[in-house]
Amino acid sequence: MRKRTLPERLLTRLLIWGRRSMKEQQLMLLLAFVVGILTALAGLFLKWLIVWIEFVLTNRFSVSSSNLLYLLYPVVGIFLTLLFIRYIVRDDIGHGVTKILFAIARKQSVIKPHNCWTSMVASGITIGFGGSVGAEAPIVLTGSAIGSNLGRIFRLNANQLMLLVGCGAAGAVAGIFKAPIAGLVFVLEVLMIDLSMSSLLPLLVSCVTAAALTFAISGWGAVFECNIGYVFSSSRIPADVMLGLVCGLVSLYFTRMMNRLEELFRRMTHPYARFLVGGAMLSVLIYLFPSLYGEGYELIELLLNGREEADWLTAMNHSLFYGHDRLLLLYLSLLVAFKVFASTATNAGGGCGGIFAPTLFLGCIAGFVFSRLWNMNGVFGISLPENSFALLGMCGLMSGVMHAPLTGIFLIAELTGGYHMFLPLMIVSVTAYLTIKFFEPHSIYAMRLARRGELLTHNKDRAILTLMSMDSVIDRYSKFLTPEMTLGEVVKQISVSKHNVFPVLNAERRLLAVLYIDDIRHIMFRTELYHRMQVQQLMVMPAARLSTQDDMEDVVKVFGQTGAWTLPVVDSEGHFVGFIRKSRVFTMYRQMLADISNE
């Protein structure tokens, strides 16, 4: 027997101590506290890494002209990230929030250990070298991975593990944005983890811990320091509603265009082909529009804090547009149009990053352009504060793209200190959400899983069916009947079997029909028929056939429509796989319902 190492012995003692000395709720609170600390430190490290790389590369760039190195840096960053992922990580680490949703829905909240650090390194390189994506989704995946693996070390059950995954995600959002309430709401709206008294406290502990530690280390100011003297007026409500509509439509454009571009890149089977196309697209876009470099937070701060035209014109620094003051609105509008191309090219080309920052970037610009056009045309004779509407636009895009109106409201309020703007934030957020909801039922994170029937939702019935897998309820058979077999051979096989239904297959093992014991019970002991009757005279067609590609919601629906108690399952080529029994489905359903409901 292998002798255990010192770390293994210490870990064993820690587990025994934790189990013996603390109650379950106390252990969860302690682990949530640890998760909050670790996620905050991970977020601070990632932000430092991005700022350091970007400063080293771009601090000597000329303000008044374009810089040719913008053509090189993004390609180098994507290439380094591609090599890191392909030869060191050897796993897909993109689409961080989607991976968390998939882990909750299909992998019992198990996230691979390497995700505790690989997303940080990959996204730090990608964004520092100019990748037009955000650091927030990678750090959310990092936080969730920390929670998942810490829970596995302490051998927590599935519900507790799911809660720690949520704690990691909540802590990550709370820490990187200094927004504890938004972290909590994000987990409830986007990750769709049900709120109960047993889950509320650990989530709050992680959020408060991560935010407090981040404040203590990086300072007590908001992420975007801005002094917006916005005074709510009922006369501006129509403008708030119209901005919400605009944000909803921009969200729709961003979501659908990203999906189409990802599909085009997916058709390129070779990773280096995707790298060449994505890298070239990103480099050209950043050379033409330097504001697309990295997260784009500098432009957000500029639009939020600018007080006069000279301030806002600096948005065109480093670009070919510099000095052409009349082209500011055109420049900003082109940023809205091309940001989705830059973000998709970054990730599809081999980089690593999320869409939090692109969403805030687009929303800020959309709100600013909307208010500028409104003021230029004197709509209703009402003047709109442009920096305030830039802030409202961030809320609208966040709500629309992520289908998370509460997250949008609280995140922007905490991110900018704009607590006095809650009412207009609510108006814009709800309007944007309702607008995109009319066209797209799922968020950009969830739609990939929803198309495959793997999305966990707040509907408990659907959630349980999503968590159930076809493979877990299939009763596989090692023996089968053929049409030419005699009744005597059938009886012989029945005598050594516990089944009451048998598949009838052809030579290629494709399902032809089924045979029920109840249908032959009246002739089973008539030996004179054993050599005279064959299976083909006794078999019947099943009420329906299930496929291994079906999800459990479809399975339950077919059982309800046919009234059958047992149905055969075949693969995509018609080969028999096994039977599913209604009783087994319902037994597993009741067990999972009890597990989910248990607090």
Residue 321 neighbours by CB under 8 Å, 6+ apart: 327, 331
Residue 227 located in a structural domain: no
277 & 318 share domain: yes
The enclosing domain of 438 has a CATH number of 1.10.3080.10
Residue 4 located in a structural domain: no
Assign 12 a pLDDT band (cuts: 50, 70, 90): low
120 & 173 share domain: yes
Per-residue pLDDT tens digits for 399-410: 999 888 999 999
Residue 112 located in a structural domain: yes
Residue 437 located in a structural domain: yes
Q: Which of 268-272, 443-447, 528-532, 572-576: highest mean pLDDT?
A: 268-272
Asked if residue 423 lies in contact with residue 384, where contact means CB atoms within 8 angstroms, the answer is no
**pLDDT higher than threshold 70 for residue 33:** yes
Give me the sheet containing 576-581, strands edge to edge: 474-475, 576-581, 566-570, 546-547
268 & 311 share domain: yes
Percent of the chain with pLDDT over 70: 86
Return the beta strands (E) in 396-500 as ranges: 474-475
Which of 218, 248, 272 terminates a domain? The answer is 218
Top pLDDT among 490 and 394 is at 394
474 & 450 share domain: no
pLDDT of residue 460: 53
Asked if residue 447 lies in contact with residue 402, where contact means CB atoms within 8 angstroms, the answer is no
Top pLDDT among 51 and 444 is at 51
DSSP type of residue 87: I
Asked if residue 556 lies in contact with residue 544, where contact means CB atoms within 8 angstroms, the answer is no
Measured CA to CA, the distance from residue 284 to residue 305 in angstroms comes to 29
**pLDDT higher than threshold 80 for residue 104:** no
DSSP type of residue 65: S
Which two structure tokens, joined as six digits, stand for 574? 């018609």
Q: Give the pairing of strands 546-547 and 474-475.
A: unpaired
**Residue 477 burial class via C-beta count within 10 angstroms: exposed 0-12, middle 13-18, buried 19 and up:** middle
**pLDDT higher than threshold 50 for residue 166:** yes
In one letter, which amino acid is 339? K
Mean pLDDT for the stretch of residues 152-158: 81
111 & 213 share domain: yes
Q: How far is CA 344 from CA 92, 123, 134, 275, 450, in A?
A: 16, 14, 12, 12, 20
283 & 303 share domain: yes
Which two structure tokens, joined as six digits, stand for 457? 């939702």
440 & 538 share domain: no
pLDDT of residue 599: 45
Burial pattern 296-307, b for ≥16 Cβ within 10 A else e, equals bbbbbbbbbebe
Q: Which of 131-135, 191-195, 298-302, 432-436: highest mean pLDDT?
A: 432-436
274 & 405 share domain: yes
Per-residue pLDDT tens digits for 113-127: 888 889 999 999 999
Q: Which residues pair with 578 in a beta bridge?
A: 569
Residue 224 located in a structural domain: no
Which of 400, 434, 458 terminates a domain? The answer is 458
3-class DSSP assignment, residue 470: helix
Q: Which of 25-29, 249-253, 387-391: highest mean pLDDT?
A: 249-253
Residue 6 located in a structural domain: no
Per-residue pLDDT tens digits for 560-590: 888 888 889 888 788 888 888 888 888 777 7
Residue 332's nearest CA partner among 379, 389, 276 is 389
Alpha helices in 22-116 (DSSP H): 24-58, 73-83, 96-106
204 & 267 share domain: no
Burial pattern 329-364, b for ≥16 Cβ within 10 A else e, equals eebbebbbebbbbbbbbbbbbbbbbbbbbbbbbbbb
299 & 424 share domain: yes
Q: ∠ at Cα 168 (165, 171), nearest 5°?
A: 150
Residue 31 neighbours by CB under 8 Å, 6+ apart: 147, 150, 151, 154, 164, 167, 202
pLDDT of residue 121: 92
Indicate the average pLDDT of the chain. 84
pLDDT of residue 559: 84
212 & 91 share domain: yes
Number of domains in the chain: 3
pLDDT of residue 1: 45
Which two structure tokens, joined as six digits, stand for 67? 């810089």
Please give the residue range of the domain that contains residue 248. 234-458
- pTM exceeds 0.95, yes or no: no
440 & 474 share domain: no
Which of 428, 458, 488 terminates a domain? The answer is 458
DSSP 286-309: HHH-GGGSTT-HHHHHHHHH--SH
Residue 5 located in a structural domain: no
pLDDT of residue 475: 84
Residue 582 neighbours by CB distance under 10 Å: 18
Residue 109 located in a structural domain: yes
